[in-house]
Amino acid sequence: MNAANESNRKPTVVDALPKAETHLHLEGSVRPDTAIELAKRHEITLKHESVLSRYKYKDFNGFIQTFKWVTSYLQTPDDYALITQKLCEELLAQNVVYAEVTVSAGVMLRKSQNIEANIQAIRAVADSVPFSRLKMVFILDAARQFGHEEALKVALAAGRLQKLGVVAFGMGGDELAFPTEHFRPAFDHARHEGLRIVCHAGEIGAPQLVREAVSILGAERIGHGIAVMHDPALAEWLQTRRIILENCPTSNLCTGALAKQIGKPEATLQDHPLPAFLKRGLLVTLSTDDPALFHTDLLTEYSKAASLGLTNSQLVALAEQSYQSAFLAPEEKQKYVSAFRAAVKSAGLV
């Protein structure tokens, strides 16, 4: 758990429940101490303060630059193994028992790394005995700003690596780079291979990009989608199609995405559309996105959702939605949902 957050976080009813997290970037989980350790492996000395100053952003582009900086220290499969171990420890400390972890395969390709060797190292740690209570699967992610040819290479790798627990293909990065249509072949390939589809959209971009991610790329879940707050017709369209919006409130504040969406120099948590989405009946999940880079963790996100006025039963329903929206086979999903409901019952929450 992120000790920095423990002190200023109010506990919620969700804390003790077994949880799922489905929008979480492996590379965004590198805490400052781990960044220092990674740099040391590659003979670079980093100071804690200088890492912390990197972990602050003026805008979305600043965040992308830091993400790039952190990944520059991920040079070998062993480096990926180390950050996976730290992430597994953090997740279990928060009673997260199921995680769909996004891995930036697009960045690995950019650095001419062997994606399969990295995923194997990640898989081995996730499967190791200390973490047997946590099931971890992967979403391979292309970076939009690297273009459609690179995205197709990631989709091809994702298809091949299903044997290692890759369940979905997605796209993140600079949402404003290149028309959505360019990426259709990559997503078509992934779907053809039997992979599930996710896409970041409506984070800093317009509502139209959310519509395109669904209608052109076949996204089943939208990363963020906060732009939907501007377009009631789109909200209804998404609701009919049972598309999930993966909300990550702290992320939207740290990257300036929410401020950009509402056209103000600064945004506060109270500006976040999560409660309005729920009121409208949209399907929403709650996640951390890049917990280390945004100085948060999943318990903190639920605490923030509570401070937005969500009731205990809304928090519990939100936590169950992460399982309901997970890319699990129906029987396995039922198993997780049943265990979750049993925990809710034994905690006296129903």
Contact residues toward Zn ion (CB under 5 A) are 223, 289
Per the structure block, which two tokens stand in for 195? Answer: 């992979």
Task: Say how far apart CA 104 and CA 127 lie, in whole Å.
Answer: 20
Element (H, E) at 100: strand 96-103
Residue nearest to Zn ion (CB): 289
Burial (CB count within 10 angstroms: exposed 0-12, middle 13-18, buried 19+), residue 227? buried
Task: Say how far apart CA 306 and CA 141 lie, in whole Å.
Answer: 30
Which of 150, 289 has the CB closer to Zn ion? 289
203 is catalytic: yes
Task: Say how far apart CA 210 and CA 49 lie, in whole Å.
Answer: 37
| DSSP H stretches of helix in 246-297 | 249-254, 257-262, 274-280
Which of 22, 84 has the CB closer to Zn ion? 22
C-beta atoms surrounding 333 within 10 Å: 17
Rounded (to 5) percent helix, strand, coil in the chain: 55, 15, 30
CB of 87 to Zn ion, least distance (A): 15
Which of 79, 289 has the CB closer to Zn ion? 289
Spatial contact of 90 and 297, defined as CB atoms under 8 Å apart? yes
Which of 100, 289 has the CB closer to Zn ion? 289
Largest CA distance in the chain: 54
Which of 17, 250 has the CB closer to Zn ion? 250
CB of 289 to Zn ion, least distance (A): 5
What Å distances lie between residue 126 and 80, 118, 155, CA to CA? 11, 12, 22
CB of 331 to Zn ion, least distance (A): 29
- Angle of helix 312-324 relative to helix 298-307, nearest 10 degrees, comes to 140
Task: Say how far apart CA 170 and CA 198 lie, in whole Å.
Answer: 5
CB of 346 to Zn ion, least distance (A): 33
* Residues paired with 99 in a beta bridge: 21, 136
* Residues paired with 143 in a beta bridge: 172
Which of 212, 289 has the CB closer to Zn ion? 289
Spot the catalytic one: 21, 203, 246, 301.
Answer: 203
CB of 44 to Zn ion, least distance (A): 27
CB of 62 to Zn ion, least distance (A): 16
Residues serving a catalytic function are 203
